[in-house]
Amino acid sequence: MNRAKTAIEKLLLRTDIKINGGRSWDIIVHDERFYGAVLRGGSLAFGESYMAGWWDCDSIDELIYRIFSHDLLSKVRFTPANVALYLGAVIGNPGRRARAFEIGEKHYDVGNDLFLRMLDKRLTYTCGYWKNTKDLDGAQEAKLDLVCRKLGLKTGQTVLDIGCGWGSFAKFAAEKYGARVTGVTVSKEQVELGQKLCKGLPVEFLLQDYRDVEGTFDHVVSLGMFEHVVYKNYRRYFQIVRDHLKDDGLFLLHTIGSSTSSTHTDPWIHKYIFPNGMLPSIAQIGKAMEKLFVMEDWHNFGADYDKTLMAWFKNFEEHWPEIASAYGDTFYRMWKFYLLSCAGSFRARENQLWQVVLSKHGVPGGYESVR
């Protein structure tokens, strides 16, 4: 145990993180098993040991920020969990049709009562756009409006929303721009609540996989769904979008991205938060869309996800007593670790947030970027 503790302390030397230190980002260890578990199990054990209460930290977001800023995870990357995910991604296909509904059941169907308390008033579960605004509601409305303006959305136009969530974009586009929106999701809970929220508007919800979409549309959007597609399916995904997009239409892809090409996600995120997903790289997106689309605009506002996640956590923390009995302490620690660790990763610029505007043949005369 002492050797494991010494090894962990040595790994932390250059990160300005101390064991049982006095700063908000220092790790306070309650159970000595923490050291051996993390040394053997890497990020999976790190998250699980927090869920078990083996350690605490006043500012998990700042802790994770320092870990990513010093590339600490690369020192413990070859763990059994990482190897298993790599082999599963290379040999199999976690994004295949047969597993399409798992993410809906395990994450998005966890409970509308949770998301109603955590998210903005429109239930937008993607990164806000914080330019010229200081609150979550304003940031999310600005993001939805940004998407509509990038599309050049006009009254009466049809939009396919792949991964529509509870219909935040669909409702906004219908109310503010007079669009007719078809939303596709794999979450039963999202369809049920979304239909109520969009009642009376020209918005249709479909509980189905993106590979089963029918019809053609003036525009296509996908906000925060591409992270669930997985690299082996990227080419097919872009082909499907192209097939359902009119010749003069635009496709806006809004996705978290990675600066490094990979085949799978973090083991803890895969097991507890987003199963079967991964973050795409620029190279992977570029290869998948080659000869299918013209890239008109690529906008990175990943730093805004830090603010968004911290706002979600503030809401979650504030309203937790209202739902605590339904979820329990282990879920609380899991969800807290999820939100704050993700905030730290965006703060360190480990992860990015991209909005990519694509056309089938190139916009005549050129596309004017919108910010």
Query: Over the stretch 174-210, which tens digit does the pLDDT of each residue have?
Result: 999 999 999 999 999 999 999 999 999 999 999 999 9
Is residue 93's pLDDT more than 80?
no
Query: Model confidence over 248-276: pLDDT tens digits?
Result: 999 999 999 999 998 878 899 999 999 98
Nearest to 124 by CA among 356, 269, 305: 305
Q: Work out the burial of residue 78: count CB atoms within 10 Å of its CB; fewer than 13 is exposed, 13-18 middle, 19 or more buried.
A: exposed
Helix (H, G, I), strand (E, B) or coil at 14: helix
| Residues 6+ positions from 206 with CB-CB distance below 8 Å | 182, 183, 184, 185, 191, 213
342 is catalytic: yes
> Where residue 79 falls among pLDDT bands split at 50, 70, 90?
low
- Structure tokens belonging to residue 107: 């994450």
Cβ atoms of 356 and 252 within 8 Å: the answer is yes
Task: Report angle CA 209, 211, 212 to the nearest 5 degrees.
Answer: 75
pTM for the model: 0.94
pLDDT over 70, % of the chain: 94
Is residue 309's pLDDT more than 80?
yes
Query: Model confidence over 160-179: pLDDT tens digits?
Result: 999 999 999 999 999 999 99
**What does the pLDDT read at residue 74?**
65
> Where residue 236 falls among pLDDT bands split at 50, 70, 90?
very high
Residue with structure tokens 């998990």?
60
Is residue 299's pLDDT more than 80?
yes
Q: What is the largest CA-CA distance in the chain?
A: 68
Helix (H, G, I), strand (E, B) or coil at 261: coil
Nearest to 268 by CA among 88, 6, 47, 8: 47
Strand spans (E) along 190-304? 203-207, 217-223, 245-258, 294-300
Domains and CATH numbers, the chain: 2-77 (no CATH), 101-303+350-359 (3.40.50.150)
Is residue 288's pLDDT more than 60?
yes
Rounded CA separation 275/282 (Å): 22
Cβ atoms of 81 and 41 within 8 Å: the answer is yes
Query: Model confidence over 113-155: pLDDT tens digits?
Result: 999 999 999 999 999 999 999 999 999 999 999 999 999 999 9
Query: Model confidence over 9-27: pLDDT tens digits?
Result: 888 988 999 999 999 999 9
Rounded CA separation 261/306 (Å): 22
**What does the pLDDT read at residue 114?**
97
- The 3-state DSSP composition of the chain as helix, strand, coil percent (nearest 5) reads 50, 15, 30
Rounded CA separation 360/292 (Å): 7
Q: How large is the C-alpha radius of gyration of the chain?
A: 21
